[in-house]
Structure 1
Amino acid sequence: MWAGFVRTGLGFGGAALGLPLMLLVGASPVYWLPVIGLHLLFFSSLSLLKSIKEVDWAYLKSALVWIIPPTLVGVFGLIALPDRVMIVFVYSITIFYGIIWIFNQKITSHQPWVDKCLLIFGGYVAGTSLTGAPLIVAVFMHHVARQYLRNTLFVLWFILVSIKMLTFMAMDVMIDWQLSVLLIPMAAIGHVVGLKLHDKIIANDQRFKKWIGSALLLISSFGLLKLFLS
């Protein structure tokens, strides 16, 4: 429900803000990411059916050149690296996001080469854990008009998750289809609430992110502590 809410409320973050909570339940990133990915494909398709024309295709195509190659590298890293390493990676990058949001700091770029570095690193992080959204969004916000931003990002996430899911299936990664389908109604509640509150959230972006950042820092710190004590 939370992942669905932030995905439509912010336009990104379903994995970055939802995965730490799921990891507290148990299992590994490789188990939960297909569940998150299937939900993203399903709900982003529904959203884009009505607004496919409100997408900045020109900038999206130019950005994908820098995002897709490191995403592929990240996907294979996710499959090859030990679960413990990946869990530490997810919690660590989530703590980083939490801290910069708590102190109202922003990942910004004003130079073309910095844009490319953020897209490359964001693509790699998206490939490993689908948590690279804040890095990529920092660049897209400067190049895509506000009224096109959310839908352009939906198309980007759809493309990246499709690559990830196809790789999972090609590598025979276990996908819990039954759980994914059973959780769709819960994710749908968050999805609808996020759509209705999107404008209010964007209008109060700093306050919303400060509260989220505090929750992420607490959850991820607890998750790391639980991991190291286990």
Structure 2
Amino acid sequence: MNLDFQWYQYALIVLVFIWSGFVRAGFGFGGALFTIPFLLLIHNDPLFFLPIISIHLLFFAGLTLFLSHWAAAVTVAVAETGEKQSESPQEAINWRFVRYALLIMLIPKLAGVVGLLILPSNLMNSIIFLLIAAYSITYIIGKPLQSNSRLLDTVFLILGAYISGTSLIGGPLVIAVAMRHIQAHEFRNTLYVLWFVLVGIKLFAFNLAGVDLQLMASLWLLPFAGIGHMIGQKFHQRLLQHSNARFYQILGWVLLSTSLIGLLQIVV
């Protein structure tokens, strides 16, 4: 990393990126949502951390999709030999939803990236903390955002794309729409394809704007995110079979507390 951090800051950043890998692999979203508030408490510059999170997302999303495709090919080969197959459904990609979402999200995504580049750092941090606080309350009360119409689909996808462009935390709004259109076994891989395209656009825009992509920091932190990713993969299999409402509630309280501390630091 090219900043003069203290040793304990490096240690905290490592822990947060292990957590980032776990969340991304376990849920299929939240690699930024559940880590940005902690990272901004360590160093309050979103433009330093967002390129790193983006590069990690591209790497692990691509890896997961490749391995999923390989596993599906193996399953087909096993089926052709007549051997017994697993009763659990194979994870798939709902390409129809990917096309539908991208058509709505591309323009507001670019507008969000422009907003991130021109807005003052403290204002951007305040917006991020306020949004995360709002999301956390939905997890605490067990009432995550939901869409029940085409109109709400469009509104949520536009807002999610803009917020994703500014801070990569538009996931809950997109998921509110995805829950209406895709099945559980399609959920993670479909979202990974969507994030891959949107984050690729964001990194391209960063590069055009001359933002430091923090390639060395991304490489240095990749193994730690990989540790979290491997743990998250195991958790994801459990998540497909069980309800984890209590886990989300605890996570909501942690996020709300972190957001309030972040806002207090900005105000003070």
TM-score range, shorter chain: over 0.9
Give the aligned CA root-mean-square deviation in angstroms: 1.1
Q: Deviations over 1:76-125 (max 9, x none)?
A: 00001010111001100000111111111121111110111001100111
Aligned partners of 1:59, 1:221: CA distance in 2, in Å?
35
What's the TM-score once normalised by structure 2's chain length? 0.83
Summarize deviations over 1:130-159 as a string: whole Å, max 9, x none: 000010011011101211110000011100
Once the two structures are superposed, what CA deviation does each residue of 1:176-230 show, in whole Å capped at 9, x if it has no partner?
211111111110111110100113235233111101101001111111111211x
What stretches of structure 2 of length at least 5 have no aligned partner?
A: 1-17, 73-91
**Match among 41, 58, 63 for residue 58 of structure 2:** 41
Distance in 2 (CA, whole Å) between partners of 1:27 and 1:42 is 25
Cα pair 1:103 1:210 within 8 Å, conserved: yes
1:184 aligns with 222
Indicate if the aligned counterparts of 1:3 and 1:18 stay in contact, CA closer than 8 A: yes
Structure 2 letter corresponding to 1:115: D
Q: Distance in 1 between matches of 2:229 and 2:199?
A: 18
- Aligned partner of 1:115 in structure 2 is 153
What's the TM-score, normalizing by structure 1? 0.97
The correspondence for 1:139, drawn from 159, 177, 181, is 177
Contact (CA 8 Å) 1:33, 1:129: kept in 2 or not? yes
Q: In structure 1, which of residues 204, 222, 227 is the aligned counterpart of residue 261 of structure 2? A: 222
1:55 aligns to what SS in structure 2?
coil
* Alpha carbons 2:98, 2:190 under 8 Å: kept: yes
Shift in Å at residue 10 of structure 1? 1.0
Q: Per the alignment, in what secondary structure is the counterpart of residue 44 of structure 1?
A: helix
1: CA distance, partners of 2:224 / 2:68: 24
- Which ranges in structure 1 are unaligned for 5 or more consecutive residues? none
Secondary structure in structure 1 of the residue aligned to 2:137 = helix
| Whole-Å separation in 1 of the counterparts to 2:181 and 2:209 | 35
What is aligned with 2:81? none
Structure with higher Rg: it is 2
Give the Cα separation in 1 of the matches to 2:137 and 2:251.
10
Distance 1:104 1:26 in 2: 31
The partner residue of 1:206 within 245, 254, 260 is 245
Among 203, 206, 220, which residue is 1:165 paired with?
A: 203
Aligned-residue sequence identity (percent) comes to: 40
1:51-200 equivalent positions in 2, closer than 5 A: 51-52=68-69, 54-200=92-238
Partners in 1 of 2:44 and 2:126 — Cα distance? Answer: 13
Contact 1:201 1:208 survives alignment (8 Å): no
Residue 155 of structure 2 aligns to a residue whose secondary structure is: helix
**Aligned partners of 2:121, 2:261: CA distance in 1, in Å?**
17
